[in-house]
């Protein structure tokens, strides 16, 4: 899934911070519990030392139990095992009517006649409440700290990456041939962004230089070809009018004339593409697609009748768009010409229009490489009159005008969709 760099950074930071904070919280819990237990054990040991002194001064061997039941001495015969054992246990409290947690010390203290089994306990409920309070406080602090760090990290990253996003914005609006050779990227206190700034401007200078050279070559070549093509046309017309030509010579001249006309169309198409690329169609206005379609369809009436093509028009709403009228006319002419030229005898052309898109659907043979349908000099069908630039011009017009175009094969028919919104595939 695609997402912004800043968003992905925050997600990675969060994914790493959560387990680290969790581990820190668990470690803190065990440290606090260990410290509290050490404090309680020290208190129990103090009580045991006091009992040891009491036993040494005791003259009888009677058992002893404190009033609160937390200390108990039981006399036994035998040698004392002075090993001290600490443990936690839950003991039922009849007053509270529930089990309460206790920390218990058990050991044996030697006496004159035997040994005393010592049992000392201390309620740890207050200690557990203290630990729980500390843990809840720590959790709250960790949550606040986590949110604060995420917000702080987001703010710092946004501030640090601001020159980068500014550069992206400027690059997105930059149009080679229409803008300056350099982008006015502001200086940054970060050396990497300054290096990026210099590299981009150097690249754009070279790209602009190459573009200008290509533009001049295309324009000069197209203009220079017009004169010899016109001379060829005039000479061929003169030859055709000659009365001394045989049938074979007429066929050769006809073939030359056909090639000359195709070359002339190719020259005009290349010149048109060059002008579109150079952004020379700057005059824009509100253009009605219905009005232009009404003017365009009669241009192909003879071919439509010759092929017995049925044209179905469905105009739900007019598509009114702000663009160059001349380019819009060329767009519609090329699309309809394509639908007529590559149709079959007795076929159909369906033209559907609404306020957001134009669909031109026609019958015809399948295209060999549909993914290359908008590429220059792509010959999807073997047609002698085609120079392979009609749909490339259509694609270039839609791109320069902010429109979107898509080709589909629907129910064995060709479908071209021109939309004012991006087509979701």
Instruction: Count how many residues are written for the chain.
Output: 425
pLDDT digits (tens, 9 = 90+) for 97-106: 878 888 889 9
What's residue 365's pLDDT? 86
Rounded mean pLDDT of the chain? 82
What's residue 380's pLDDT? 59
pLDDT digits (tens, 9 = 90+) for 196-210: 888 888 888 888 777
Q: What is the CA radius of gyration of the chain?
A: 46
Is the pLDDT assigned to residue 177 strictly greater than 70? no
Closest C-alpha among 117, 184, 393, 401 to residue 272: 393
Q: Please state, in angstroms and rounded to a whole number, the distance separating the CA atoms of residues 33 and 14.
A: 28
Residue 164 falls inside a structural domain: no
The mean pLDDT of 367-390, rounded to a whole number, is 71
pLDDT digits (tens, 9 = 90+) for 344-354: 999 999 999 99
- Domain of 296, CATH number, reads 3.30.565.10
Q: 63 and 140 in one domain?
A: yes
Q: 227 and 139 in one domain?
A: no
Is beta strand 115-123 parallel, antiparallel or unpaired with respect to 357-363? Answer: unpaired
Domain of residue 317 covers: 285-419
Distances (CA, A) of 273 to 280, 346, 375, 384: 10, 33, 12, 21
Q: 295 and 257 in one domain?
A: no
Q: 225 and 357 in one domain?
A: no
Q: Which of 381 and 90 is assigned the larger pLDDT?
A: 90
Q: 131 and 68 in one domain?
A: yes
Q: 408 and 269 in one domain?
A: no
Residue 198 falls inside a structural domain: no
Structure tokens at 394: 């259509």
Is the pLDDT assigned to residue 286 strictly greater than 90? yes
Q: Give per-residue burial for 196-228: e unless 16+ CB within 10 Å, then b.
A: bbeebeeebeeebeebeeebeebeeebeebeee
Q: 104 and 47 in one domain?
A: yes
Residue 17 falls inside a structural domain: yes
What's residue 412's pLDDT? 85
What's residue 336's pLDDT? 94
H or E stretch covering 227: helix 191-241
The mean pLDDT of 402-423, rounded to a whole number, is 86
Residue 118 falls inside a structural domain: yes
What's residue 423's pLDDT? 47
Q: Please state, in angstroms and rounded to a whole number, the distance separating the CA atoms of residues 413 and 57.
A: 112
Residue 193 falls inside a structural domain: no
Q: Please state, in angstroms and rounded to a whole number, the distance separating the CA atoms of residues 175 and 322.
A: 19
Is the pLDDT assigned to residue 301 strictly greater than 70? yes
Global pTM exceeds 0.75: no
Q: Please state, in angstroms and rounded to a whole number, the distance separating the CA atoms of residues 254 and 157.
A: 71
Q: What total number of domains does the chain contain?
A: 3
Closest C-alpha among 383, 412, 377 to residue 395: 377
Distances (CA, A) of 32 to 11, 85, 105, 132, 290: 31, 21, 20, 10, 80
The mean pLDDT of 52-60, rounded to a whole number, is 82
pLDDT digits (tens, 9 = 90+) for 23-34: 887 888 788 878
């Amino acid at each position: 899934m695609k997402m912004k760099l800043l968003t992905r950074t925050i997600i990675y930071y969060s994914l790493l911070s959560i387990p680290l904070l969790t581990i820190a919280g668990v470690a803190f819990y065990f440290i606090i519990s260990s410290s509290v237990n050490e404090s309680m054990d020290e208190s129990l040991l103090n009580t045991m030392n006091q009992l040891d002194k009491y036993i040494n001064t005791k003259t009888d061997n009677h058992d002893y139990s404190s009033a609160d039941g937390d200390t108990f001495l039981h006399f036994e015969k035998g040698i004392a095992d002075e090993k001290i054992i600490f443990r936690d246990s839950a003991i039922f409290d009849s007053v509270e009517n529930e089990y309460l947690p206790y920390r218990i010390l058990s050991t044996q203290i030697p006496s004159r006649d035997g040994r005393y089994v010592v049992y000392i306990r201390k309620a740890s409920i207050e200690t557990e409440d203290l630990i729980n309070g500390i843990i809840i406080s720590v959790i709250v602090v960790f949550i606040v700290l986590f949110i604060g760090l995420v917000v702080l990290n987001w703010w710092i990253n946004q501030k640090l990456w601001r020159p980068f996003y500014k550069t992206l914005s400027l690059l997105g609006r930059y149009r080679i041939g229409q803008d300056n050779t350099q982008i006015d990227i502001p200086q940054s206190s970060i050396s990497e962004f300054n290096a990026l700034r210099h590299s981009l401007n150097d690249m754009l200078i070279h790209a602009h230089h190459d573009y200008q050279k290509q533009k001049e070559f295309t324009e000069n070549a197209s203009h220079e070809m017009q004169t010899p093509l016109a001379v060829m046309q005039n000479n061929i017309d003169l030859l055709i009018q000659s009365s001394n030509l045989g049938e074979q010579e007429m066929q050769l001249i006809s073939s030359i004339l056909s090639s000359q006309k195709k070359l002339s169309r190719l020259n005009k198409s290349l010149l048109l593409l060059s002008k579109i690329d150079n952004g020379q169609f700057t005059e824009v206005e509100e253009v009605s697609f219905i009005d232009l379609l009404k003017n365009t369809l009669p241009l192909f009436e003879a071919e439509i009748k010759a092929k017995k093509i049925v044209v179905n028009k469905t105009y739900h709403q007019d598509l009114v768009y702000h663009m160059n009228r001349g380019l819009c006319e060329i767009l519609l002419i090329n699309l309809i010409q394509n639908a007529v030229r590559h149709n079959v005898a007795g076929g159909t052309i369906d033209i559907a229009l609404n306020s957001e898109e134009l669909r031109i659907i026609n019958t015809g043979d399948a295209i060999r490489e549909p993914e290359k349908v908008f590429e220059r000099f792509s010959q999807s069908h073997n047609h002698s009159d085609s120079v392979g630039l009609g749909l490339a011009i259509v694609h270039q017009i839609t791109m320069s005008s902010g429109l979107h175009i898509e080709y589909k094969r629907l129910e064995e028919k060709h479908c071209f969709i021109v939309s004012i919104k991006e087509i979701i595939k």
